[in-house]
């Protein structure tokens, strides 16, 4: 028997309260996958989501200090910079100064650019921590998540499993080097009437 995703927003917030780590940032990743392991439907993760997933997405953001995301996801998912939490983007190039990302009078993203090369993600986390961001929500995409995992920098994975089969050749939720096959600890598993599963896994 799987418990239901709380219908009440306060209870949902409590269920997804963001843990803290001592002396370092706590990194929580949030991803969605289809039943056949795709991270996208028609090229976007948003194509997989439902109402419950959008509520979990919002609850995770509300509980975080900063969202960390790769520039490709920013482009493909048309990210904007929210008032909360802060938005941190990694890129090997630059981020266009669009109204979505640099709203007039609004918050601006924190951009980590390797200026042609890669930035060291551990240094990025250290810098975010120095800025006071202790709760870090990594929203992907698969490339950034793979790099964070390869460096042992992810504490927890929140994985929504969408009750759909999409076929095609969409990427899995992690891309990059082989990872050590250590078992992750299963956390609470919730579900909703639409058939979505909301799973949590700790390192």
Ligand X SMILES: NC(=O)c1ccc[n+]([C@@H]2O[C@H](COP(=O)([O-])OP(=O)(O)OC[C@H]3O[C@@H](n4cnc5c(N)ncnc54)[C@H](OP(=O)(O)O)[C@@H]3O)[C@@H](O)[C@H]2O)c1
Nearest distance in Å: CB 91, ligand X:
4
In the list 45, 110, 125, 154, the residue contacting ligand X (rule: CB under 6 A) is 45
Spatial distance between the Cα atoms of 203 and 201, rounded to a whole number of angstroms: 7
Q: Is 59 or 173 the residue whose CB approaches ligand X more closely?
A: 173
Q: Judge contact between 186 and 201, C-beta under 8 A.
A: yes
- State yes or no: residue 144 binds ligand X (CB under 6 A): yes
d(CA 63, CA 153): 19
Q: Which tokens hold the place of 184?
A: 């992750």
The tokens of 149 are what? Answer: 């995992």
> Strand 110-113 vs strand 86-91: parallel, antiparallel, or unpaired?
parallel
Binds ligand X (CB under 6 A): choice among 37, 96, 106, 114: 114
For 120, the token pair is 């060291």
Q: Whole-number minimum distance, CB 22 to ligand X, in Å?
A: 26
Q: Minimal distance in Å, beta carbon 136 to ligand X? A: 15
Q: Which stretch binds ligand X (CB under 6 A): 5-13, 56-64, 100-108, 139-147?
A: 139-147
Contact between residue 120 and residue 143 where contact means Cβ atoms under 8 Å apart: no
Instruction: Give CA 57 to chain center in angstroms.
Output: 9
What span, in angstroms and rounded, lies between the C-alpha atoms of 177 and 68?
20
Min dist. Cβ of residue 162 to ligand X (A): 9
Residue 119 touches ligand X, criterion: CB under 6 A? yes
Closest to ligand X by CB, 170 or 191: 170
Interface positions, 24-43, toward ligand X (CB under 6 A): 31-32, 39-40, 43
| CA pair distance 132, 20, nearest whole angstrom | 12
**Residue 40 or 81 having the CB closest to ligand X:** 40
Residues at the site binding ligand X, with contacts judged by CB under 6 A: 31-32, 39-40, 43-45, 70-73, 76-77, 90-93, 114, 118-119, 121, 139-144, 147, 173, 175
């Amino acid at each position: 028997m799987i418990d239901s995703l709380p219908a009440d927003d306060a209870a949902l917030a409590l269920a997804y309260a963001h843990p803290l780590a001592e002396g370092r940032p706590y990194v929580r990743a949030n991803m969605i996958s289809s039943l056949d392991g795709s991270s996208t439907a028609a090229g976007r993760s948003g194509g997989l989501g439902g109402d419950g997933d959008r509520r979990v997405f919002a609850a995770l953001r509300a509980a975080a200090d900063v969202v960390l995301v790769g520039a490709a996801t920013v482009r493909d998912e048309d990210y904007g910079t929210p008032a909360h939490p802060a938005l941190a983007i990694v890129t090997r190039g630059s981020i266009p100064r669009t109204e979505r990302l640099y709203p007039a009078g609004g918050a601006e993203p924190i951009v980590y650019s390797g200026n042609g090369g890669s930035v060291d993600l551990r240094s990025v986390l250290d810098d975010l921590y120095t800025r006071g961001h202790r709760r870090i929500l990594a929203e992907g995409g698969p490339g950034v998540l793979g790099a964070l995992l390869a460096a042992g920098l992810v504490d927890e994975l929140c994985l929504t499993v969408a009750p759909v089969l999409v076929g095609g050749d969409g990427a899995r939720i992690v891309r990059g080097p082989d990872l050590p096959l250590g078992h992750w600890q299963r956390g609470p598993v919730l579900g909703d009437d639409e058939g979505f599963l909301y799973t949590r896994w700790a390192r």
